[in-house]
Structure 1
Amino acid sequence: MSDVLALVEARLLTALGEPDARAGVTFLGADRIEVLRFPGADDGGDVVRYATLGMSAQPMSDPTAAVADPLRGPRAELVLSVRRGRADTDKVLRPLAVLAASPQVEGVVVAPGASLDTGEPLWPDAPFTSVLVAEPGGLVADLELDDPRDPVRFLPLLPMTPNEAAWKRVHGAAALQERWLRHGTDLRDPLRAGVPLD
């Protein structure tokens, strides 16, 4: 399925420019996951973006299915955008690779509205240990593949504080996003405080 990853990488480069760094992580029982760092020249260099490459090599399958379909099923890569220079966000590479490997390792189907938890800060001193998976299509357009394969979707990740993650479990993703919007939350700030949840 390396042909899929070549197309995915080309789509990322078209949308985000040339990466200035990349790192690869291999997990037992899973394919290699790479994380590419894009310096964000399109916005004056204030925002750095991290994108996974490798998660979409295989379709995600329902863990209850008797046999995984090698062609059909959702495919995705993950994209995280943060403001540069405020924290050591390059340490997010391994947590991002862990999240991208979760469909292979844990049988998780990653979709918009889902919460993904790393169990540790996303980077040193980060107030976030989990992310909300947002709707795709804004930053990087879906990549159509030949039938019968599903398109690759590039899913934005929004870091959540533990309190926000707990609140989202009760009230839902849409309610949390509405609260962020109402309070003008800068979701790209790597050191932001949690949104008021009263």
Structure 2
Amino acid sequence: MSHDAVLTAVEARLTSTFGEPDARAAVTFLGADRIEVLRFHDADGLVRYATLGMSAAPMADPTSVVADPVAGPRAELVFTVRGGRDEVLRPLATLAASPQVEGLVVAPGASLDLGAPLWEGAPFTSFLVAEPGGLVEDLELPEPADPVHFLPLLPMTPNEAAHKRVHGAAELQERWLRHGTDLRDPLRRGVPLD
């Protein structure tokens, strides 16, 4: 499947899940293919931002000498926030370009740290990459290509990110669950970590 065919299929999966996007932004980074971020509104006031472009090529293990052009993990990022925060468009595109630019393999349980607030005044500076499959179903590609996973991004405060580094992603997610944390609330406080 060509890069374009993969992205056409990915966009079709996103629109069949969320409806038509009401906005899209494109960002191009030196040494990387163009990344788009699509914005979807739903009836409950939630806004979902999904990257388009990260899955065009498989993520390569940075230690391998030759990158396989077909096999290897493929993903797009999905961030959901109540009311929307369009300032996240560029940070999301930056993270989606990181496999191409920095040779990162983005996988569930990873932290993606921006080193700055996700938007002005945001209490969050990084994301936890969650397990795929719950929000958008994986997109199967013809063999030998791996399926495209749609990875939900959960915003973390600096303290939560530090806690996750020490205790792991599963423990942080368990804590969020125990405290009934609304991870889509753009103004939520960090979960108690004592």
Secondary structure at the aligned position of 2:138 is classed as coil
The one-letter code of the counterpart of 2:136 is V
Q: What TM-score results when the alignment is normalised by the length of structure 2? A: 0.98
The one-letter code of the counterpart of 2:46 is V
Which residue number corresponds to residue 31 of structure 2?
29
Secondary structure at the aligned position of 2:78 is classed as strand
Percent identity, aligned pairs only? 78
Alignment size in residue pairs: 192
- CA shift at 1:124, angstroms? 1.4
Match of 1:176 among 166, 172, 178: 172
Which residue number corresponds to residue 190 of structure 2?
194
Which residue number corresponds to residue 5 of structure 1?
7
Matches within 5 A, 1:1-198: 1-40=3-42, 44-84=43-83, 89-198=85-194
- CA shift at 1:75, angstroms? 0.1
Partners in 1 of 2:44 and 2:86 — Cα distance? 15
Secondary structure at the aligned position of 1:11 is classed as helix
Partners in 2 of 1:29 and 1:117 — Cα distance? 21
Q: What TM-score results when the alignment is normalised by the length of structure 1? A: 0.96
- CA shift at 1:123, angstroms? 1.2
Secondary structure at the aligned position of 1:168 is classed as helix
Partners in 2 of 1:185 and 1:69 — Cα distance? 40
What's the C-alpha RMSD, in Å, of the aligned pairs?
A: 0.7
The one-letter code of the counterpart of 2:10 is V
CA contact (8 A) 1:117 1:129 kept: yes
Partners in 2 of 1:173 and 1:20 — Cα distance? 33
The one-letter code of the counterpart of 1:18 is E
Partners in 1 of 2:19 and 2:74 — Cα distance? 22
- CA shift at 1:45, angstroms? 3.2
Runs of 4+ aligned structure 1 residues displaced above 6 Å come to: none
CA contact (8 A) 1:98 1:118 kept: no
The one-letter code of the counterpart of 2:192 is P
Partners in 1 of 2:125 and 2:53 — Cα distance? 22
Partners in 1 of 2:77 and 2:181 — Cα distance? 21
- CA shift at 1:120, angstroms? 1.4
Partners in 2 of 1:157 and 1:172 — Cα distance? 16
